[in-house]
């Protein structure tokens, strides 16, 4: 017997958190990619803070090469959590390790509104150092396929970050998101952070960044001392 699908219910996606012109809705994945020091972790922290201030329950997997606890002062995470200490104590679940085998069991216990995984590619690379890039990409793809089913059922939003690498083909250099095609195609919104390139060191825009959203929209920003993002 065929089961009738309630499409009206499934297409409903309430916003969970908004920051800097971007939003994460329930049942969706926002992917942020960029080079080292581009601002992936800082952007993640701003999304997390906006959600917590709005009384949303957040799980933060701080699993990139350098976690937020090891970053020097002024430390953005320390500033944000101190300013809203009660809400952070009540609403944030923080992890410095990751295991896809126990991920869903743990999330069912916590029942978060937002899951932020900063450094998914780095985590899989560290766990599977001897497997080929293709096999690693498949593991990431399989995990993301499972997470998509999970967040649709539990109405959760997800933020992922991944680094980008340079690939030269036919004498052309392109930036690609690391983690395989699955990490890109299984995400609902893709954001690429790029530096504004300038040969003039005195150019005031030379150290600013641009958010490229799904290769269609873009806006610039710079990171102030201490990690605050300012749109330009």
The answer to the question of residue 6 being in a domain is no
Q: The domain that contains 97 carries what CATH number?
A: 3.40.50.300
**Is 21 or 85 the better-scoring residue by pLDDT?**
85
> Can you give the pTM of this predicted structure?
0.89
The answer to the question of residue 1 being in a domain is no
Q: Which of 138-152, 189-203, 206-220 has the highest mean pLDDT?
A: 138-152
Query: 47 pLDDT band (50/70/90 cuts)?
Result: very high
Residue-wise pLDDT for 181-201, tens only, equals 889 899 999 998 888 765 445
Domain count of the chain?
A: 1
The answer to the question of residue 5 being in a domain is no
The answer to the question of residue 54 being in a domain is yes
Q: Within a 10 A sphere around the Cβ of 97, how many other Cβ atoms?
A: 10
Q: What is the pLDDT at residue 32?
A: 94
**224 is in which domain, residue-wise?**
21-231
The answer to the question of residue 156 being in a domain is yes
The answer to the question of residue 183 being in a domain is yes
In angstroms, how far is CA 77 from the centroid of its own chain? Answer: 16
């Amino acid at each position: 017997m065929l089961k009738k699908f309630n499409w009206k219910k499934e297409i409903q996606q309430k916003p969970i958190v908004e920051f800097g012109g971007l939003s994460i809705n329930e049942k969706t994945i926002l992917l942020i990619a960029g080079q080292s020091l581009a601002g992936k972790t800082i952007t993640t922290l701003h999304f997390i803070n906006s959600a917590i201030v709005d009384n949303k329950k957040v799980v933060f997997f701080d699993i990139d090469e350098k976690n937020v606890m090891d970053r020097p002062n002024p430390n953005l995470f320390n500033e944000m959590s101190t300013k809203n200490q009660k809400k952070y104590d009540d609403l944030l679940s923080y992890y410095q390790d990751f295991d896809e085998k126990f991920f869903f069991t743990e999330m069912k216990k916590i029942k978060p509104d937002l899951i932020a995984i900063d450094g998914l590619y780095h985590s899989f690379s560290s766990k599977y150092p001897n497997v080929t890039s293709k096999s690693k990409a498949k593991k990431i793809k399989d995990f993301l396929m499972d997470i998509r089913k999970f967040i649709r059922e539990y109405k959760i939003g997800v933020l992922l970050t991944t680094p980008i690498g340079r690939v030269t083909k036919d004498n052309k250099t392109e930036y690609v998101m690391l983690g395989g095609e699955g990490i890109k195609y299984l995400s609902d919104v893709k954001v690429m952070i790029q530096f504004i390139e300038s040969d003039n060191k005195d150019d005031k825009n030379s150290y600013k960044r641009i958010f490229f959203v799904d290769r269609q929209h873009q806006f610039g920003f710079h990171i102030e001392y201490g990690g605050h993002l300012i749109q330009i």
